[in-house]
Amino acid sequence: MSDFSHLPVLLDRVVALLAPALDHDGAVLVDATLGLGGHTEAVLQRCELARVVGIDRDPQALALAGGRLASYGARFQGVHAVYDEIPDVLDDLGLDAVDAVLFDLGVSSLQLDMVDRGFAYREDAPLDMRMDASGGPTAADVLNTYSAPDLARILREYGEERFARQIANAVVRARETQPFTTSARLVELLYDVIPAPARRTGGHPAKRTFQALRMEVNEELVVLRRALPAAIDAIAVGGRVVVESYHSLEDRLVKRAFADAVRSDVPEDLPFVPAGHEPAFRLVTRGAEKADAAEVDHNPRAASVRLRALERLTPSPSAGVA
């Protein structure tokens, strides 16, 4: 696959948020969700003093992005890792701190477009959904082994599926006859279980179930919960963490992590901030920024994006200067 026409969401705004932290010699960005490298390419083009460490758990994505970014030479380095392993990656590279970390969460264009990966519900494919296909349980394993209550829980929590219990019960009944192996059979079951009026609103009736399975298979919220504090701790003074999330649970974790970072230990009624108690971080964005109508029309994936950014103001007790 060599089609790099997919547009990164809020590309110009993301680069604008990162640029102030990358405007010096030796600046380093960690693109924690490299994907096809769209954000990284824009940073390398527009922030000429910066270099990028691109992390992805998907070997196919790393290979394609590496080819795309080869012309930048040593300014780009790809690393096969999960993004909660940021501290280990930086340690391996001999970096005490970096100047920026970017997360563009969710599934990548590559994974959606490669039918055999099983992320898309519009074509029949093996129920895999692993971002790193080299190991770990697949979506089929989840469907064929989880209890009905556990299936209902992940469909309700990760997919916000109103008919989670009914779908889970139907899956358990159906797998007694034949295990689930491909997406078409699951989609057919969803059409049977979800009432017709509900199918006519809110997009494709399989969208929420497939999202929930993907998030469970890849432990996305578990990983994000570990990755956010690691990224915040990793940035140097003036450094920024920028996050694009597409699910309410993801954005809630980001909002909470950023709120914890900017919280002051000085009583609100104190008329001044004592020396040594200055806030360590500030919020760069005012709440969560969203895409405007023009961007959504041009790039439908932007419809659900929530963009937040945080900047370090004082040195970290555990990180040095990049």
pLDDT of residue 117: 60
Distance, in Å, from the CA atom of 200 to the CA atom of 208, rounded to the nearest integer, reads 14
Tokens matching residue 11: 């590309």
CATH label of the domain that carries residue 26: 3.40.50.150
Predicted local confidence at residue 278, as pLDDT: 72
Give per-residue pLDDT as tens, 216-260. 999 999 999 999 999 999 999 999 999 999 999 999 999 999 999
Same domain, 106 and 224: yes
| Binding residue ranges for S-adenosyl-L-methionine | 37-39, 56, 83, 104, 111
pLDDT of residue 60: 86
Are residues 91 and 236 part of one domain? yes
Q: Is 66 exposed, middle or buried (0-12, 13-18, 19+ CB in 10 A)?
A: middle
Verify that 243 and 201 share a domain, yes or no. Answer: no
- Identify whether residues 199 and 228 lie together within a single domain: no
pLDDT of residue 234: 97
Which of 217, 246, 261 is where one domain is finished? Answer: 217
The residue from 160, 186, 217 where one domain ends is 217
Reported in sequence order, the residue ranges of the chain that DSSP labels E, i.e. its strands, are: 28-31, 51-56, 76-80, 98-104, 235-245, 281-283, 306-312
Which CATH number is 179's domain given?
1.10.150.170
- Whether residues 234 and 305 fall in one domain: yes
| Domain annotation covers residue 116 | no
pLDDT attached to residue 89: 97
Tell me how far apart the alpha carbons of residues 144 and 177 are, in angstroms, rounded to a whole number: 11
Predicted structure pTM score: 0.89
Q: Tell me, what DSSP letter sits at residue 126?
A: B
Model pLDDT, residue 134:
80
Q: Based on the domain organization, do 17 and 65 belong to the same domain?
A: yes
Asked whether residue 103 falls in the same domain as residue 239, the answer is: yes
Q: What is the pLDDT of residues 156-171, one digit of tens each?
A: 999 999 999 999 999 9
Whether 319 is covered by a domain: the verdict is no
Write down which residue in 187, 217, 247 finishes a domain: 217
pLDDT for position 142: 97
Q: Which residues of the chain have pLDDT under 50?
A: 1-4, 319-322
**What pLDDT sits at residue 4?**
46
Tally of domains within the chain? 2
Is 3 part of a structural domain of the chain? no
Domain of residue 179, residue span: 132-217
Binding-site sequence positions: 37-39, 56, 83, 104, 111
Tokens of 301: 């994936």
* Co-location of 18 and 103 in the same domain: yes
pLDDT of residue 90: 97
* Structure-token pair, residue 277: 């108690």
